[in-house]
Amino acid sequence: MSSLFDFDKPAIYAVMGNPVSHSKSPRIHGLFAEQTGQRLQYTAIQVDPGGFEQAVRNFVANGGSGLNVTVPFKTNAWELVDSRTPRAALAGAVNTIEVQAQGVLHGDNTDGVGLVNDIVNNQGGAVANKSVLLLGAGGAARGVLSPLLEQGPAELVIANRTEDRAIGLARNFSKLGAVTGCGFDDLADRHFDLVINATSASLHGELPPLSGQLLAPGAWCYDMMYAATATPFMQWAERHGAAKISDGLGMLVEQAAESFVLWRKVRPQTATVIATLRAELQ
Ligand code: NDP
């Protein structure tokens, strides 16, 4: 017999995007749920351009508890939500929505904390007092700026193909720390301890035009993209003597873990989930 409050039903979550069929989020949240004993259902929903708001309204009407949002709807999600965490407010992009009482939508952006947790907690690296170069000024770059600046880098330079976007972004975040923006040409004679690729160039098998002199001794190169084989940026890092090279799989799992904590109030262990996904990438 069903009751008014059917506590036996699993809570409903989903990721919305376009395209979304490749998304690893259903797999990651399925592993988190199994590990923490949480009952939930998590699916991937393909949404047509222009259809995001209606899709969210339908999801809420059908009893949905929370959403992840991916390309190209993170800005739409930011506009749609009723309230935002400070980091989401600053990022101008929302990748996590919690459906609260009476269907109120609360937005967060967990990409940046996911990146920082992967660098600092998983890989024992540091951002504090380091000279950091962030390549790209799109949604991913915006999302990671405030968590990166919170770590207290010695400097953070944003370099982008369209220089004005990097300069504008740096201006928006300048209250949070030492951040400047420039074009790739302005990087000649500069050296960095940590270079993070937040461009989508790797997705197309491309590489931003980077000078081979960029890397300081002991430099770490981190590509937000991940793949079974080294991305063009990771290959560039290898050729130019980076001491450490990482892809974005750890960031992906860590940003998902932050969403899971927001929704379920339980923190999943990420190491085994990263290892499982890594094995499944091969
Ligand atoms: P956007 O489309 O918002 O931004 C793309 C950025 O890449 C822009 O700065 C653009 O420059 C730049 N760019 C594109 N092509 C080139 C090229 N050939 N050479 C130089 N620069 C280029 O994308 P997102 O910011 O949303 O995503 C960026 C990357 O981050 C993707 O690979 C995505 O998969 C990854 N990502 C990974 C996550 C993870 O959890 N691991 C989370 C979120 C994103 P311009 O401004 O000049 O157009």
Q: Report which ligand 1 atom has the smallest distance to the Cα of 248.
A: 41
What is the number of other CB atoms lying within 10 angstroms of the CB of residue 172?
Answer: 16
pLDDT above 50 (res 3): no
Q: Report which ligand 1 atom has the smallest distance to the Cα of 226.
A: 41
Angle of helix 139-150 versus helix 163-173 axis, rounded to 10: 40
Q: What pLDDT is recorded for position 282?
A: 79
Does ligand 1 come within 6 angstroms of the Cβ of 71? Answer: yes
pLDDT digits (tens, 9 = 90+) for 77-87: 999 999 999 99
Q: Report which ligand 1 atom has the smallest distance to the Cα of 162.
A: 47
- Sign for the CA dihedral angle at 210, 213, 216, 218 comes to positive
190/43 Cα distance (integer angstroms): 45
The pLDDT of 240-250, averaged and rounded, is 98
Query: What is the band of 11 on the pLDDT scale with cuts at 50, 70, 90?
Result: very high
Query: What is the band of 180 on the pLDDT scale with cuts at 50, 70, 90?
Result: very high
Q: What pLDDT is recorded for position 9?
A: 84
pLDDT above 70 (res 6): no
Query: What is the band of 7 on the pLDDT scale with cuts at 50, 70, 90?
Result: low
Greater model confidence, 46 or 203: 46
Q: What is the CA(252)–ligand 1 centre distance, in A? A: 15
SS3 call for 27: helix
Judge whether 134 and 121 are in contact, CB under 8 Å: no
Does ligand 1 come within 6 angstroms of the Cβ of 131? Answer: no
Q: What is the CA(204)–ligand 1 centre distance, in A? A: 10
pLDDT digits (tens, 9 = 90+) for 117-155: 999 999 999 999 999 999 999 889 999 999 999 999 999
If one residue of 22, 199, 226 were mutated to test the ligand 1 pocket, choosing by the most ligand atoms within 8 A of its CB, it would be 199
pLDDT above 80 (res 182): yes
Instruction: Tell the residue nearest (CA) to atom 20 of ligand 1.
Output: 208
Element (H, E) at 153: none
Instruction: Tell the residue nearest (CA) to atom 17 of ligand 1.
Output: 201
Beta strands in the chain (DSSP E): 11-17, 40-46, 64-69, 83-84, 96-99, 105-108, 131-135, 155-159, 179-182, 192-197, 215-223, 244-246
Instruction: Tell the residue nearest (CA) to atom 18 of ligand 1.
Output: 201
Instruction: Tell the residue nearest (CA) to atom 7 of ligand 1.
Output: 199
Give the active site residues: 74
pLDDT above 70 (res 4): no
Q: What pLDDT is recorded for position 139?
A: 87
Q: What is the CA(267)–ligand 1 centre distance, in A? A: 29
The pLDDT of 201-220, averaged and rounded, is 93
Q: What pLDDT is recorded for position 240?
A: 97
Among 53-57, 124-128, 203-207, 258-262, whose mean pLDDT is lowest? Answer: 203-207
Please give the mean pLDDT across all residues of the chain.
Answer: 95
Instruction: Tell the residue nearest (CA) to atom 8 of ligand 1.
Output: 138
Does ligand 1 come within 6 angstroms of the Cβ of 74? Answer: no
